[in-house]
Structure 1
Amino acid sequence: MAASGGILWNPDTGEHKPDGEAIVDPAVAECTRKEFSVDMVKAFSEGRVFECFGPGFELAQTHSKTPKIQSGMMLLLDRITRFEPTGGPWGRGYLRVENEIPSDAWYLTCHFKNDPCMPGTLMSDACLQALAFYMTAMGHTLKRDGWRFDPVPDEIYHIKCRGQVTPKSQNLIYEVFVEEIIDGPCPTIYADILGTCDGLKILHIRRMGLRLVPDYPLDCWPHLLLCHVEKKPAARIGDMEFGYKSLLACAFGKPSDAFGELGKPFDGPRHIARLPGPPYHFMSRVTSILATMGGMKTDETIEVDYDIPENAWYFDENGNRSMPFCVLMEVALQPCGWLAVFEGGPATSEKPLYFRNMDGTGTLTTEIFPDAGTIRTRTTVTKIINFSGIILINFDVECFIKDTSIYKMETGFGFFHKEALDHQVGLPATDEDRKWLDEPCDFLVDLTRRPAKYCEGYPRLPKPMLLMVDRVTGFWPGGGQKGLGRLRSEKLVDMGEWFFKAHFFHDPVQPGSLGVEAMIQTLQFYMIHQNMQNGIKNACFEPIALDHPLTWKYRGQVSPSVKRISIEMEITDSGRDKKGSFAVAEAWLWADHLRIFHVKNLCIYIVPESPGKDARQEKINDEGDSANLDVPHDSKIENSIKNSVLKYIADTAPFINVDPSFIHLSADPKTASCDFMPLSHFPIIIEERQGKASFIHVGEPALLFDKIFEYGRNLFHLGPWLFENITRSLCARFIRYVILEDPAAFEKVRNRSLLYLGNHQIQVESMLFPLLAQVLTQRRIVTIADAAHKTGWIGALNDIVYSHPGIHYPKNIVYFDQNDRKSLFNIIDKFKEQIKKEGISVFLHTEGRLGLTCKNPVKVLSSVFIDMALESDLPIVPVRFTGGLPVEKLEKTLDFPVGYGKQDYYIGTPILPETLKKLNYADRRKLVINAINHLGGANAQETPGKPAPDFINAVASYRKQTGASEVKAVLFKALDMLTEIPEKEAHEMLLRRGHGEKIQFQDNDKGRWMKRLTDWLFEPHER
């Protein structure tokens, strides 16, 4: 190899198609950059296209899942030193990649043993990455969100290798000589690629082909469906079920997965109208279809459910914890879009059709709070008009909660060709109207700075994600036709805004509902500015005025190319009545200098806050007695608090039977506790309302970490330390409740050594359960674990923990080889001795191996452990972990709850040795297994805990940035997002290192321990 003369191919004389035969289409976008740094190339590999390619590539910021090359260790390009669209000896395009070769590069050390060299397959992959970079630089991905790069199939590629890349190599250059670039339905490039290492030509690929092909983000985003369980049957047509999975496919998936045969013609480059995607997707299932697929007929009706998540992002973002009107509009409008496609609207034209709302009138009758449950929407087609390729469809819509109507709407939509949308003339406006947009005014309030008057206190404007107004640039108190006031507000358009990614896939525009929301927020600003909340206790905004029709008209769109959104508003009425303060306005929305939206009869009320917004409440009594926090709670208040807690438990943990005698109140009374949940407390707020009634709010129970960690501090003779932070972060993130089935029975055995036997869902429960359970008995728990886990992350972390300076306590995990039964008997004999001398308790998972679905009950229990319990006089405590696994069977086991949700830990009624002695061996096993399986309800009823999308995204982002494993990303992000931090100094150092900072630890025992921990957590993936 060292004597190789290299490749003899020369691009000046090499074979290529003649100019008359080669297709060389021009660039779709002009890239002004001709060379790209390492950081720029890395940005492209991570999907940050605009950051890499610069001006002209802004549209890529709207992508949900932009086409890109591999990232992390599989990124095989360093820097691009030449990008020339008309360069190269053939004048058709040229790209030059220059890579430095580290002597310890991973691809050298793994290939081959004692003969390190770069695999040729990786060189070929680097060539494909270079072609993908070139295609992207030519703009071919900008209008192909979700697509992917794919080698051209059914081609013969001639590859010659005449050299190698070894640890002694310094530089590797790839040169791309473009032969053809074809801007067709699936853009394709053909090019010769030459690889040169330290001046020697070592690789030539003749006419390598790469193309862009349609793909769908949903195929790469399993987390969107990870924990979903249909609450009730969805409508079906044949084998096609229209549940949540199909509705997500309407947003981000393959059209045939959304509509079956109707969608198949669109499974490719052909455009189809889409539903909005998360976080702006508000349909859970279609429950009834009284319509014909592809029928394009009137009087067709569907019913759609939307299950309201109690922790939905928009409740937190809104200034008031009720559903914002923009979300309710979407709940009502999105079924119209679904039905229009189901009726066959997109299939009526070979040219792409784009779906837009045009007008509507709706009346809201009920404010919607987090505990509302499910909104059922009934949608009926009332009119269809088809002319000149444009289809107009009208709908009647009514929304219900249970059987109560909450919103009625008449609305119209249209299917339009792109040319029609691009040439919309908007709503009528005079030159004077346009001049007013830029009329000077001394009034300016910058809401992006979150001024306290408008963004804190009550009432207040929404948080940044939902706030659709950047600043108010004009206020004329005597302006407008009625002389009551005129306002101007604006928002500068950022192509990277979340709503462009969500609305719509392949057709990014701002939702019209967010335009209406901007008008609502402008009117809310006016009301706060005018101090219209004064004299109203606990003042808050209604979403819009109840029982007050709102009418809107749209004649344009806010596309990503728009620079500024402006709101023009005239106050038409204001005042105060028995309900509260109100203001009425007429408003227009402008996209740059085109007036496109108009809303009439916009009315907002400021009212006293209604109960039901933050948690569960209890009215103290029907007569309306009131209570103050500065006086002792009387029996009426105490009973009401207990009833509120009981309701909370009944709603969230229905498998335990609690009565008021098990509920205990603090003296404040600011917290309540329950004997069934001894490691938690319930925060209580007694809120005095205007008038006579007071309300009791019961918050989500929180783990009592001071109680939990007091035992460990006493055990290890340490104050707060870093491992406490780690376990606190994991408990807070992944545990909802620790529940005793029978507190009185458990109390009777709490002073004895116990044998805890449980099912096994996920890895982290093995670490956390003993830490919590030993607090209940103040008795150390030792876990028996499969030896296969000794080299896993819990084993490694456990070794580090017990090497902390000053800890000389025996480890709390004992490993055994399941294939070596003799070793288990030796372990049990040692346990018997420890139980006798030290009084330890023992915990193990009966089946030894992790589960794959929550539907599988425990089936196996070795009689060896029952014998151990009898011989050592140990009560057996059944344990069941729930909420950690999905319903559908996984292919591999999990370290953490599915969707990073929370588990419940059920601790059952102890089974005494004298009870077991009365039974034969078979019945003993049966009794224990049944006791485990019956805790927390039957397996058939179990569902996974609610997913944590914020944490999912945080972990995914960190892994993408660092290449970290899932376990270490979860451990770090759980610490990073921990709010209450017992040990601050070491915690801060760990976070700083996790965020890429180099840390110098002290040269002492604690410093060396910290370095060992952080090396384990970060070194394999440090940047």
Structure 2
Amino acid sequence: MTEVLEFVGEPFDAVAWTTPPPEPAPRHDAAPEPGPVARPEPASPHTQEAAVQAVPAPAESAPPAASTLAELRTVLVSAHSGALRAQAALQRRLLGLPGRAAASGVLVRVSDEAAFKPLARSAVTRLGATELRRLAVGDLAEVFGAGYDQEDCNPEVRLAAGAELALAEVTALQLRGGAGRRGRVLARRVPGADPVDAAVQAAQVFALYTGLHLCLADARFVRVDPQVTRIEQSAEADGDDAVEVEVEWIDLVPRPGLRVRARCGGTLVTDVAVALHERPGVPVGPERGGFPARWLGRMSSLGERVLLSEFQLAHLARGDQGIALGPEFAHYTGIKATRIPTGGLLLVDRIVTLQGERGKLDSATYRTEYDSPADSWYYADTANASMPNCVYMETSLQSALLIGYHLGATLSRPDETQSLRNLGGTATVLREVDLRDTTIRQDSALVGTTDMPGSTLQSFTYTLSADGEPFYAGETLFGYFSEQALANQTGLDAGRSVPTWLEQNPGSGMRTLDVAARRADPAAPLCSRDHLSLLDDLTVVDGGGQYGKGYLHAERTIDPEDWFFARHFHLDPVIPGSLGVETVIQAMQEWLLDSGLADGMRDPGFVLPVGVPFTWKYRGQFLPTDGSSTLEVHVKQVQRKSGRLRLTADASMWKPGLRIYELTDIAVELRENGAAPW
């Protein structure tokens, strides 16, 4: 491990409580996850009847204060707890998407970041009578392609489940169609067929098209009876046999399913809900010890039988942790606990293989996969020519941390609330690659585990590959921290308030770049937008900074309703460290464009520099209640090669009163399209 990964304990325990340690804090409560069908009470986290259950809990309270310092901490902890509860409610509202359509029939549009990610993609968007008959007998891969193959799994997953086909043809399958952009199906029904049957079968077609069945091994369609309303046939209608279905809700939790509304000629069919449930008694997650008793049905991009799929990882992020990792983890369901991100920040799809044993935390190896479709939100929002740095960091770190948690890093203290935080690492881009429509395979290793009072530390190494060739490698350190340990963090400077360079040099000549104004111009090139709009203005001191080559400074107001709090993490919201790093990168990119150094470059694009080890260190996190964040960048080096311009810097970030991020040799590169490698 490199020096940056050596953990120094005092930032987490420098100021101890002046009273005895409090009892374990009460857990946050959570409403049950929404589902498209009614379910009985769960008997086991592994059977069809399993569902996410609410765990009522009293409100959190801070430890008793016995000094001015303890009183201050009590107030801060109480405020933080209130923010967490508020964020939990916000997250349920944003992620659940359970509400019925408005009476007017207008669907709320889902953001691209929150869009459901299909388990498979097909170029087939029209189905004739022959293809529908094949779906009715279960020949799913014959219709949609090899990515839908499950060998001999799911013999009962078929269109109409043996009933008469009500659809004559499907004229359009639109993954992001409809008013809500959750999906749309256009079809024609068989003359005289029941409109409800036609609506249900159209919903089943969309479920198969998005691959909802691929994460279960022995499933079947289940449904609830929809509501049927006669409506006036509009003049623009395509005829009485026309079927138009719009998806209102689609998810993997608690079971893969969707809810739609349909217009079938003069009939409006609402609350059409179909889901895929396993047959009674069939396992849908690992057994005790973390390994499934039988294959759970999911295939890798290369046709291998995987260990855990998108279904288990969705439950790990925000559902039943017993389904995700085994019965030992079931008690973490519905409470504040270690989780991976959710929504558009869930950037690992499958655990393919694992060589390790639960309870043995000294070493293990494993392989994961992440599919990166070209229509992913971050490709649209980044200023980069391909994947932004924050996604490189998030997908690699999420894959790395999974194995330590799976092997039981928190199980030695099952009654203690433990939060997972990244502490630092070093990573290097090995080659320049466009990752659109690529499956990233990551090989990771747990190097070691260290237990400390109030925390458990784990170190990892990892290598990411695309098309069999490595493109990114690194090492990292994670920690599992008790609530008391998190409350006692004192940043990178042992609790001292360290001023920024600008505060120490108040007479420096400053100028301001209005990043928000440039972003407001739709034609502005090389600009981060929408979910990656992380910077509004930038203060520049030309010739300033630690190295005398330029200094950048920016402040950002933290809004408790910022989109990423609902994604990272469920019931434990903090700003992802990778987005803090991304903010620094955007500051460097904006300065580079403004400096004039790139003038004359033909068709330039930002890329991640190859062969530059980047090191980060985190000793704290940005919370919804922190109010603001501050960054500074010290320009270190500007290099030129034919068609390329590279900027390297060091940087830090502050929450109010504490410096908590330190970034070394962070680099950005602008290159002409087609320029030779550096």
Give the TM-score range, shorter chain.
0.5 to 0.7
Which amino acid counterpart does residue 445 of structure 1 have in structure 2?
A: L
**Number of the residue aligned with 2:195:** none
Cα distance in 1 for partners of 2:442, 2:583 equals: 25
Aligned partner (choices 560, 573, 589) of residue 524 of structure 1:
589
- Say which structure, 1 or 2, has more relative contact order (CA 8 Å, 6+ apart): 2
Give the SS at the match of 1:515.
helix
Q: Does the alignment pair 1:509 with 2:544?
A: no
Q: CA deviation at 1:447?
A: 2.4
The alpha-carbon distance between structure 1 residues 590 and 488, as it changes in their structure 2 partners (threshold 3 A), is same
Aligned partner (choices 438, 445, 448) of residue 516 of structure 2:
448
Q: CA deviation at 1:249?
A: 0.9
Q: Does the alignment pair 1:313 with 2:313?
A: no
Give the SS at the match of 1:558.
coil
Cα distance in 2 for partners of 1:343, 1:451 equals: 45
Which amino acid counterpart does residue 564 of structure 1 have in structure 2?
A: S
Aligned partner (choices 628, 634, 638) of residue 570 of structure 1:
634
Q: CA deviation at 1:493?
A: 0.7
Q: CA deviation at 1:398?
A: 0.7
Within a 5 Å distance, the mapping from 1:911-950 to structure 2 comes to none
Give the SS at the match of 1:421.
helix
Aligned partner (choices 492, 496, 503) of residue 436 of structure 1:
503
Give the SS at the match of 1:465.
helix
Aligned partner (choices 311, 318, 328) of residue 245 of structure 1:
311
**Number of the residue aligned with 2:333:** 267
**Number of the residue aligned with 1:347:** 411
Contact 2:317 2:340 in 1 (8 A): yes
Q: Does the alignment pair 1:218 with 2:284?
A: no
Contact 2:634 2:649 in 1 (8 A): yes
The alpha-carbon distance between structure 1 residues 368 and 493, as it changes in their structure 2 partners (threshold 3 A), is farther
Q: Does the alignment pair 1:486 with 2:551?
A: yes
Q: CA deviation at 1:365?
A: 1.7
Q: Does the alignment pair 1:65 with 2:92?
A: yes
**Number of the residue aligned with 1:365:** 430
Give RMSD over aligned pairs: 3.6
Q: CA deviation at 1:419?
A: 1.5
The alpha-carbon distance between structure 1 residues 372 and 346, as it changes in their structure 2 partners (threshold 3 A), is same
**Number of the residue aligned with 2:473:** 408
Contact 1:307 1:374 in 2 (8 A): yes
Cα distance in 2 for partners of 1:493, 1:329 equals: 22
Per-residue Cα deviation, 1:661-685 (whole angstroms, up to 9, x for no partner): xxxxxxxxxxxxxxxxxxxxxxxxx
**Number of the residue aligned with 1:1018:** none
Give the SS at the match of 2:410.
helix
Moved more, 487-496 or 575-584: 575-584
Cα distance in 2 for partners of 1:566, 1:251 equals: 29
Cα distance in 1 for partners of 2:531, 2:405 equals: 30
Unaligned stretches of 5+ residues in structure 2: 1-56, 62-80, 104-250, 260-272, 277-284, 297-306
Cα distance in 1 for partners of 2:505, 2:91 equals: 34
Q: Does the alignment pair 1:395 with 2:481?
A: no
Which amino acid counterpart does residue 60 of structure 1 have in structure 2?
A: A
Cα distance in 1 for partners of 2:582, 2:529 equals: 13
Per-residue Cα deviation, 1:959-1001 (whole angstroms, up to 9, x for no partner): xxxxxxxxxxxxxxxxxxxxxxxxxxxxxxxxxxxxxxxxxxx
Cα distance in 2 for partners of 1:466, 1:222 equals: 30
Cα distance in 1 for partners of 2:101, 2:504 equals: 51
Q: CA deviation at 1:450?
A: 3.3
Which amino acid counterpart does residue 92 of structure 2 have in structure 1?
A: K
**Number of the residue aligned with 1:591:** 655
Cα distance in 1 for partners of 2:435, 2:400 equals: 24
Within a 5 Å distance, the mapping from 1:888-927 to structure 2 comes to none
The alpha-carbon distance between structure 1 residues 333 and 486, as it changes in their structure 2 partners (threshold 3 A), is same
Cα distance in 2 for partners of 1:381, 1:58 equals: 31
The alpha-carbon distance between structure 1 residues 476 and 267, as it changes in their structure 2 partners (threshold 3 A), is closer
**Number of the residue aligned with 1:580:** 644
Within a 5 Å distance, the mapping from 1:415-814 to structure 2 comes to 415-428=480-493, 431-433=498-500, 436=503, 442-451=510-519, 456-458=523-525, 460-472=526-538, 474-542=539-607, 544-610=608-674
Greater gyration radius: 1
Give the SS at the match of 2:404.
helix
Cα distance in 2 for partners of 1:601, 1:527 equals: 16
Give the SS at the match of 1:320.
coil
Contact 1:59 1:560 in 2 (8 A): no
Cα distance in 2 for partners of 1:312, 1:227 equals: 25
The alpha-carbon distance between structure 1 residues 366 and 420, as it changes in their structure 2 partners (threshold 3 A), is same
Contact 2:513 2:540 in 1 (8 A): no
Give the SS at the match of 2:360.
coil
Contact 1:538 1:609 in 2 (8 A): yes
Give the SS at the match of 2:605.
strand
Which amino acid counterpart does residue 332 of structure 1 have in structure 2?
A: S
Size of the aligned set, in residue pairs, is: 413
Contact 1:470 1:492 in 2 (8 A): no
Question: Could you state the TM-score of these two structures normalised by the residue count of structure 1?
Answer: 0.38
Question: Could you state the TM-score of these two structures normalised by the residue count of structure 2?
Answer: 0.56
Per-residue Cα deviation, 1:119-147 (whole angstroms, up to 9, x for no partner): xxxxxxxxxxxxxxxxxxxxxxxxxxxxx
Cα distance in 2 for partners of 1:365, 1:327 equals: 16
Higher helix share: 1
Q: CA deviation at 1:507?
A: 0.7
Cα distance in 1 for partners of 2:425, 2:488 equals: 22
Q: CA deviation at 1:433?
A: 3.2
Cα distance in 2 for partners of 1:259, 1:319 equals: 37
Cα distance in 2 for partners of 1:398, 1:550 equals: 15
The alpha-carbon distance between structure 1 residues 27 and 487, as it changes in their structure 2 partners (threshold 3 A), is same
Contact 1:337 1:355 in 2 (8 A): no
Which amino acid counterpart does residue 502 of structure 1 have in structure 2?
A: R
Contact 1:323 1:368 in 2 (8 A): no
Which amino acid counterpart does residue 517 of structure 2 have in structure 1?
A: R
Q: CA deviation at 1:319?
A: 1.4
Cα distance in 1 for partners of 2:567, 2:427 equals: 24
Which amino acid counterpart does residue 462 of structure 1 have in structure 2?
A: S
Which amino acid counterpart does residue 433 of structure 1 have in structure 2?
A: T
Cα distance in 1 for partners of 2:417, 2:373 equals: 35
Give the SS at the match of 1:64.
helix
